[in-house]
């Protein structure tokens, strides 16, 4: 098992990579515990949950909304949960984002932790203290920063993930390598087949390397005022594409990273041959690398990006594989780039 820690403004978060859901009880401070999980995870793993009250929610991005929050707050009141309770989210990114928001707001905040059950949430969503829900078509627009006390990444749970959900996590893993660790990118090029076949050793190394990068960045810039923006590599277009095509997060990030790599080439930063290596690795990982999009709709959706500052987007580009930079690009300039690319 590998361990990492992140110190944020709301406390210290300990991450256990390779720990088991079965051992969750050892991490709970006392017996006043409520578990939040989703319908699929409960069906598969309820027998391994410690025996506390469970609040079950539906699944999918469509339930990441205020109605689901209402439902959970009502349940917490019904179960007479007070401030002394501990909340555990057991699930993927959606459960973690919702459980983190609920725990941070119910009675002005109760302590919480996660057992992260998807590759995407193990390398990204459950780590770093961001949480929240969607509102009126805007992704994660209502939320806050608050660190979980612990995150358990049980690699065995990944065996039950379907192929699509599994490959989603790889987009974020590739992203970490691109923004910070060229050697990790080479390792992915050499080992993508083993990784796709859920080789536990390879996965543990990739998750650990990803979280070393994420935790170092979050330690420096928890509230995303500078360095943490680099974690948005590929995400500006991804969020717009997710809305337009209903793509999964990983699929959209994959295409977004190809577009951002191409823009990096156009701006004279990245070698064309490196952009091609990036496209090929994503393709080898069974992720999509292009899509025909409606220019006007994409621009409209880019304007909805919550990371926009007025007319300016802090756009993450690559200088080379393993080294990202942030350029301020106006919406107008981006519109021109999109027109040229199309």
Ligand X SMILES: NC(=O)c1ccc[n+]([C@@H]2O[C@H](COP(=O)([O-])OP(=O)(O)OC[C@H]3O[C@@H](n4cnc5c(N)ncnc54)[C@H](O)[C@@H]3O)[C@@H](O)[C@H]2O)c1
Using CB under 6 A, list all residues that contact ligand X.
Answer: 38, 40-41, 44, 59-61, 64, 91-95, 97, 117-118, 120-121, 124-125, 128, 130-131, 140, 157, 160-161, 165, 168, 249
The set of residues, in sequence order, having a beta carbon less than 8 Å from that of 317 and lying 6+ positions away, is 260, 263, 264, 267, 269, 270, 324, 325, 326, 327
Q: Whats the size of the chain, residue-wise? A: 342
Determine the 3-state secondary structure of 14 from DSSP: strand
Q: Go through 196-225 and write b for each residue having 16 or more CB atoms within 10 A of its CB, e for each that does not.
A: beeeeebbbbbbbbbbbbbbebbeeebebe
CB of 266 to ligand X, least distance (A): 27
CB of 106 to ligand X, least distance (A): 18
Nearer to ligand X, 59 or 335 (CB): 59
Q: Go through 32-64 and write b for each residue having 16 or more CB atoms within 10 A of its CB, e for each that does not.
A: ebbbbbbebbbeebeebbbebeebbbebeeebb
CB of 253 to ligand X, least distance (A): 9
CB of 333 to ligand X, least distance (A): 27
CA distance linking residue 330 with residue 341, whole number of Å: 16
Nearer to ligand X, 64 or 275 (CB): 64
CB 270 within 8 A of CB 318: yes
Which residues, listed in sequence order, are joined to residue 231 by a DSSP beta bridge? none
CB of 172 to ligand X, least distance (A): 7
Nearer to ligand X, 64 or 180 (CB): 64
CB of 30 to ligand X, least distance (A): 27
Nearer to ligand X, 168 or 262 (CB): 168
Nearer to ligand X, 179 or 270 (CB): 179
CB 255 within 8 A of CB 282: no
CB 24 within 8 A of CB 77: no
For ligand X, which residue has the nearest CB? Answer: 93
Nearer to ligand X, 19 or 124 (CB): 124
Nearer to ligand X, 128 or 322 (CB): 128
CB of 269 to ligand X, least distance (A): 25
Q: Tell me the angle at which helices 295-303 and 235-245 cross, rounded to the nearest 10 degrees.
A: 120
């Amino acid at each position: 098992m590998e361990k990492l820690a992140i110190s944020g403004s709301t406390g210290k978060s300990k991450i256990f990579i390779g720990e088991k859901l079965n051992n969750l009880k050892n991490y709970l401070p006392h017996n006043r515990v409520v578990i939040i999980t989703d319908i699929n995870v409960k069906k598969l793993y309820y027998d391994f949950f410690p025996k506390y009250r469970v609040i079950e929610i539906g699944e999918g991005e469509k339930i990441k909304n205020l109605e689901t929050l209402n439902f959970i707050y009502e349940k917490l009141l019904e179960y007479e949960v007070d401030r002394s309770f501990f909340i555990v989210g057991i699930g993927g990114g959606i459960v973690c984002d919702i459980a983190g928001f609920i725990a941070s707001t119910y009675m002005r905040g109760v302590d919480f932790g996660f057992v992260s059950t998807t590759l995407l949430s193990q390398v990204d969503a459950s780590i770093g203290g961001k949480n929240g829900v969607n509102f009126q078509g805007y992704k994660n627009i209502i939320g806050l920063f608050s660190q979980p006390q612990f995150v358990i990444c049980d690699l065995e749970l990944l065996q039950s993930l379907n192929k699509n959900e599994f490959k989603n996590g790889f987009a974020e893993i590739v992203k970490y390598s691109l923004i910070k660790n060229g050697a990790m990118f080479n390792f992915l090029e050499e080992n993508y087949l083993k990784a796709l076949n859920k080789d536990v050793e390879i996965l543990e190394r990739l998750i650990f390397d990803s979280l070393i990068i994420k935790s170092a960045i979050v330690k420096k810039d928890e509230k995303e005022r500078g360095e943490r923006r680099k974690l948005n590599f590929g995400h500006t277009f991804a969020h717009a594409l997710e809305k337009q095509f209903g793509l999964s997060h990983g699929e959209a990030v994959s295409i977004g990273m190809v577009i951002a790599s191409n823009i990096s080439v156009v701006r004279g930063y990245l070698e064309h041959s490196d952009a091609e290596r990036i496209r090929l690795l994503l393709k080898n990982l069974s992720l999509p690398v292009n899509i025909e999009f409606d220019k006007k709709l994409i621009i409209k959706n880019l304007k909805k990006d919550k990371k926009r500052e007025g007319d300016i987007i802090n756009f993450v580009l690559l200088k080379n594989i393993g080294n990202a930079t942030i350029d301020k690009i106006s919406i107008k300039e981006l519109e021109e780039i999109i027109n040229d690319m199309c």
